[in-house]
Structure 1
Amino acid sequence: MLHPISDDASAALHLKGVTIGDRHVKVAPSRTAIMHVNPSFLAQSDGEKEMCSRTVYCTNIEKSVTCAELVGFFQAYFGSVSRVRLLGDDNHVTGIAFVEFAEVLISKSRLSGCTFIRVSPSKTPIRN
């Protein structure tokens, strides 16, 4: 079932191709509905909530990037990294990563290069 696009969404779609700094904006309608996170994946205790406050979720990680490279990058810019979980499969051209810091992260940035890494606060802790 198709739903009408809101005025705000329509305005956002018109930003496709706009240049901000030296980067081109890419905007496209979502191909899927917004999915809620499975509650069993969310933090279950105060300890896990605290872990989430120190963890970021990264997407668009190129397959050639290693855990050691991620640790090196994030430690150079943001401080001590406690753990990294790098995930990917053969069905996707890029992977994802969860990066847990020793202390709460105050700022975030993107890597420069041909593929951007998206960095977002994590809703889920890294579990073994």
Structure 2
Amino acid sequence: MMECESKLNPLADEFVPSLRRCLSAAAPEFFPSSHRLRPIASQPQRSRAQTGSSHAERNAEKESKIKRTVYVGDIDPRITEEELMREFSNCGVVKGSCICGDTKSGLRYGFVEFENEDCAKAAMRLNCTRIGLYPVRVLPSHRTIAPRNRLPSRSGDDREKIVRTVYCSYIDTTLSEKDLKEFFEIQFGEVSCIRLLGDQKSSTRYGFIEFAKEEFAVAAIKCTGMLLGNYRVKVVSSKAAIRPSQHSN
């Protein structure tokens, strides 16, 4: 008998009918019509399917970029990224370029990304073509162009110097900084300082020329292609100022 009683529910209606009815009438919210637990509403699944889909899309985009990118080896250290883009622009629309390696360590390498895969295939025909002083190697790329780190913010003085500075390449190694200073001052105006770089064992070098005024630098850019010594120089806007420690006397 005790075992049967232990299985009885002391809160059943037959034991406390009046109490349950009173509470139900006074506060029906305590006894909702459906007293069972409701299943938790299913959340919209940003599920594995969607996550996998976005991951697949990113992979597809990366593969597409790789297919429309070429690797360029044995790049003349005097060649800039802008010049590299111009050389490959005959193959199609170039979306970007990246040159890697230290300018002081000899030949460099880089990547050129095109608008589509057909342009990249056309660029393969430039393999062994001379760009600058050296023939380049053009091969399929196995990677995309890595995004570049932002340059540190420049001071107002640096920006002001940059607009007065030009980058000059294909400078005859027989010419000294003094020779360049005299030439550019006679042709365009006062030169503040010159920094000549590159290996003197090579036939040409490159460097930076800072003028006293911006208009002198603008005029100097127009002389690109002019014969200076035994070579025609290239003169373009500079992206950097000559540091004080680099100023020549």
Q: Show the counterpart of 2:218.
A: 106
Query: Compared with structure 1, are the counterparts of its residues 10 and 70 closer, same or farther at alpha carbon in structure 2 (3 Å cutoff)?
Result: same
Task: Name stretches of at least 5 consecutive residues in structure 2 with no aligned partner.
Answer: 1-65, 71-88, 93-121, 123-128
Query: Compared with structure 1, are the counterparts of its residues 102 and 92 closer, same or farther at alpha carbon in structure 2 (3 Å cutoff)?
Result: same
The two structures, once aligned, show a CA RMSD in angstroms of 3.7
- Residues 1:72 and 2:182 are matched in the alignment: yes
The answer to which structure, 1 or 2, has the higher relative contact order (CA under 8 A, 6+ apart) is: 1
- Residues 1:61 and 2:204 are matched in the alignment: no
Q: Show the counterpart of 2:91.
A: 10
Task: Name stretches of at least 5 consecutive residues in structure 1 with no aligned partner.
Answer: 14-25
SS at match of 2:178: helix
Contact 2:130 2:136 in 1 (8 A): no
More helix by share: 2
Paired residues, number:
112
CA distance in structure 2 between the partners assigned to 1:37 and 1:83 by the alignment: 29
Query: Compared with structure 1, are the counterparts of its residues 66 and 46 closer, same or farther at alpha carbon in structure 2 (3 Å cutoff)?
Result: same
User: Whose radius of gyration is greater, 1 or 2?
Assistant: 2
> What's the offset of the Cα at 1:88?
1.3
Q: Show the counterpart of 1:126.
A: 242
SS at match of 1:86: strand
CA distance in structure 1 between the partners assigned to 2:130 and 2:90 by the alignment: 10
TM-score when normalising by structure 1? 0.68
Contact 2:173 2:200 in 1 (8 A): no
Mapping 1:83-94, distance limit 5 Å: 83-89=193-199, 92-94=202-204
Question: Residues 30-57 of structure 1, C-alpha deviation per residue, up to 9 Å, x if partnerless?
Answer: 75798969825xx721110000000000
Q: Show the counterpart of 2:232.
A: 116
The residue identity in structure 2 corresponding to 1:123 is K
